[in-house]
Structure 1
Amino acid sequence: MEKLISNFNQVQSLPEKYIFPLEKRPGKLPVPACKFVPIIDIDETAGENRAVIAQKILKASQEFGFFQVINHGVPEDLMKDTMRIFKEFFELPTEDKAIFYVENSRSNKNCKLYPSSIINATEDVHLWRDNLKLNCHPLEKCILDWPEKPTRYRQVVGSYATEVTKLVPRILELICVGLGLESGYFEDKLGEVTSLSVNHYPPCPDPSLALGLTKHCDPNLITILLQDDICGLQIFKDNEWIGVEPVPNAFVVNIGYQLQILSNNKLKSVEHRAVTNSRTTRTSAAFFFNPRDGIMIEPAKALINASNPPVFRAFRYQEFLRSYMTKNGNNDNALEQFKLQA
């Protein structure tokens, strides 16, 4: 438990094991704030508005690999309550968190609290974060292993998981419309929400030398991120890192590798990372949605023709995930093994 950053006692200087190599440091902060990551209102998705919104999502997914959605149907009070519960968990006494603490990433617990030193470590450099990972499917079983403290944790986070799970098919259906695919194309591809990853980034003595999360693309289908009002998420666009400004009551949505493959490269999974700051704790929570077990992943046949041949071969998601994990976050060649030869 002493490895948890949330248990550090006001460290005045950054420990050496958290200092990244020069070429991987975030450097001078802050980076330019990206005011252009599209914010899309999905409240009115009937009739003509549906096609307009679908095109906005398609364009954002092609240009940024990211967008934010508002008026999404998840109650504002529930979002705030959920974020409050997450923050309160990391403020609990050590003995209340100890039962979830693991140092083995292969643990089969449905709720795991990791120190930064065993997740995404790069060249023996540790991330400046603690991570709580909750298995979410099947929800009624997994929730029994979730924290009972703070009070109402299971009730609030369980309700939140249910609401977000309803949101994802709506977003995927709009992507269907934008791509010109038949209605419901993704319905048979989408599995349940598989996991929730809650990241806790305490104030860092020197944010220019450390990272909360290294650059990566998500291997899954789609990710729904809830973040507080502290800047920290950055995406890599036009050869520079730009910050994604938090928008009140919005979700950040990003395209995973599986959507890039299913769209035959029409959509893009974009590198992103998390930086720290020296003043305020930042909290974020990412829901990861994976393809359904057992289905074959391949470019949608409706998007394939003589001028747009398939870029990727067919495979199962578990094959992709094993390959992704062995590459240890190396995004440069994550897709190469699954591409067809020209």
Structure 2
Amino acid sequence: MELLSDCPVHASVPDKYVLPPEKRPSLLNDEPSSDVAIPVIDLHSADDCRRQLVAAEIIKASKGFGIFQVVNHGVAEDVVQGFREAAAGFFAMPAEDKLPYRSDDLSKHFRVSSSTPYDRNGDRYWLDYLKINCHPVTDEHVREWPDKPGSFRSSLAEYSTAVHELAQTLLRLIAEGLGLDGGFFAGDLSGGSTQMNVNYYPPCPDPSLTLGLLPHCDRHLLTVLSQGDVAGLQARHGGRWLLVRPVPGAFVVNLGHQMEIITNGLLASVEHRAVTNTDAVRLSVVTLIMPKMECRIGPAPEMVNEATGPAKFKEFEFSEFIKAYSAAAASREDVLHYFRIHR
């Protein structure tokens, strides 16, 4: 298995990365700069009397976009940059140092691989990635994390703990904004082992021919993303792809399939993809908050009302959803069709 980060700079896109014409991206800036922008929410004021207003802003952004950015979120910049630098250092290591961690074994707590397993046609995407079980930080997890670069383990532990706390704050605000108890999403709904994807997109000689990551919705509850200062994330909005422009110090937050199902469709999961560029490495750090595998999920009784209508989804065990998501090759409509109640 060849990693893109092991190879010299390509003068052209190798054939195996060239997507069929119908899957290739349009121009990166396909939304006018004066048009729609992803909402940016200041979380600092959530600590005072404006908490209800902040919660309402989050719900409005979630309904309108399924994605938003947060600033003044409480995660220190040196914590964010410390892990981003360690992760970049891992990809920059010689191929032989990464070789012991190359694997497609899903049971591993740390592994590095390339492209994505979620395309049923075997198309390849322009990225390498780390898959990490990162929270709670246990000795079992840490033993499988690499000891090079030297700061990797300590910076990952610090970053994952801080981002997990931020995610719990966001879930409390979402619950309050929906009129639910603040602890509604605590426990089994968000108590699964937190996963992290670190996606590495090297410069691409022709971004019009390939994608960094295929269009998909996240299978989990909530995603918290550090995308750095290099653009590349696009979200589906109003039938078009909207570029999520980097905001200094911000985290991007998007809703997953489980949030859509639990809220009976009120808050929809957002389809998103990654495009490439010719000039710079792009590194994104994606933290995925998920239910426990045995958790029973369905529309919350409080969310089946006049506003949302009758229950739109059947109840299931989260482990069942994971299998269906893989079988549907991450297709938003295919996986939701399986769990939707058809009347």
Shorter-chain TM-score range = over 0.9
Aligned 8 A contact 1:35 1:245 in 2? no
Please tell me whether residue 79 in structure 1 is matched to residue 80 in structure 2. Answer: yes
Superposition deviation, residue 48 in structure 1: 3.5
1:331 is aligned to 332
Provide the alpha-carbon RMSD of the alignment.
1.6
| 1:68-123 deviations in Å (ceiling 9; x for gaps) | 11111111111111111111111111111111012xx335321111022x533452
Aligned 8 A contact 1:193 1:288 in 2? no
Structure 1 pair 193–303 and aligned structure 2 pair: CA distance change class (3 A)? same
TM-score, L = length of structure 1? 0.94
Structure 1 pair 46–12 and aligned structure 2 pair: CA distance change class (3 A)? closer
Aligned 8 A contact 2:207 2:276 in 1? yes
Distance in 1 of aligned mates of 2:126 and 2:120: 12
Superposition deviation, residue 138 in structure 1: 4.2
Q: Comparing 31-40 with 202-211, which one deviates more in the overlay?
A: 31-40
Aligned 8 A contact 1:35 1:244 in 2? no
Q: What residue identity is the alignment partner of 1:153?
A: F
Superposition deviation, residue 220 in structure 1: 0.5
Aligned 8 A contact 2:6 2:94 in 1? no
Of 117, 124, 127, which aligns to 1:129? 127
Aligned 8 A contact 1:27 1:209 in 2? no
Q: What residue identity is the alignment partner of 1:299?
A: P
Distance in 1 of aligned mates of 2:237 and 2:337: 21
Distance in 1 of aligned mates of 2:239 and 2:133: 35
Aligned 8 A contact 2:46 2:54 in 1? yes
Structure 1 pair 285–14 and aligned structure 2 pair: CA distance change class (3 A)? same
Distance in 2 of aligned mates of 1:193 and 1:160: 15
1:28 is aligned to 27
Q: Comparing 123-132 with 303-312, which one deviates more in the overlay?
A: 303-312
| 1:8-56 deviations in Å (ceiling 9; x for gaps) | 2121111111111111100333333576211111112245411100110
Distance in 2 of aligned mates of 1:306 and 1:206: 50
Aligned 8 A contact 2:262 2:303 in 1? no
Q: What residue identity is the alignment partner of 1:31?
A: D
| 1:211-264 deviations in Å (ceiling 9; x for gaps) | 000000001000111111000000111111111011111110000000011111
Structure 1 pair 290–10 and aligned structure 2 pair: CA distance change class (3 A)? same
How does 1:236-247 map onto structure 2 within 5 Å? 236-247=236-247
1:302 is aligned to 302
Secondary structure in 1 matching 2:75: coil
| 1:284-304 deviations in Å (ceiling 9; x for gaps) | 010111113422111111122
Of 139, 142, 150, which aligns to 2:137? 139
TM-score, L = length of structure 2? 0.94
Structure 1 pair 29–242 and aligned structure 2 pair: CA distance change class (3 A)? same
1:270 is aligned to 270
2:322 is aligned to 321
Please tell me whether residue 174 in structure 1 is matched to residue 161 in structure 2. Answer: no
Q: What residue identity is the alignment partner of 1:152?
A: S
How does 1:7-86 map onto structure 2 within 5 Å? 7-32=6-31, 36-46=37-47, 48-86=49-87
Q: What residue identity is the alignment partner of 1:250?
A: A
How does 1:67-216 map onto structure 2 within 5 Å? 67-102=68-103, 105-116=104-115, 119-121=117-119, 123-140=121-138, 141-188=140-187, 189-216=189-216
Distance in 1 of aligned mates of 2:36 and 2:141: 38
Distance in 2 of aligned mates of 1:130 and 1:252: 20
User: Which residues of structure 1 form unaligned runs of 5+?
Assistant: none
Superposition deviation, residue 131 in structure 1: 0.8
Segments of 4+ in structure 1 off by > 4 A?
none
User: Which residues of structure 2 form unaligned runs of 5+?
Assistant: none
Distance in 1 of aligned mates of 2:183 and 2:106: 36
Secondary structure in 1 matching 2:290: strand
Distance in 2 of aligned mates of 1:107 and 1:79: 26
Distance in 2 of aligned mates of 1:152 and 1:167: 22
Superposition deviation, residue 305 in structure 1: 3.0
Distance in 1 of aligned mates of 2:246 and 2:102: 30
Distance in 1 of aligned mates of 2:253 and 2:67: 6
Q: What residue identity is the alignment partner of 1:124?
A: G
Aligned 8 A contact 2:218 2:255 in 1? yes
Distance in 2 of aligned mates of 1:322 and 1:124: 19
Q: What residue identity is the alignment partner of 2:217?
A: C
Aligned 8 A contact 1:217 1:270 in 2? yes
Superposition deviation, residue 311 in structure 1: 1.1
Superposition deviation, residue 306 in structure 1: 5.4
| 1:141-187 deviations in Å (ceiling 9; x for gaps) | 20121111111110011110011111111101111111111221111
1:226 is aligned to 226
Distance in 1 of aligned mates of 2:329 and 2:119: 9
| 1:261-289 deviations in Å (ceiling 9; x for gaps) | 11111101011000000111100010111
Secondary structure in 1 matching 2:273: strand
| 1:124-150 deviations in Å (ceiling 9; x for gaps) | 321111111111244212012111111
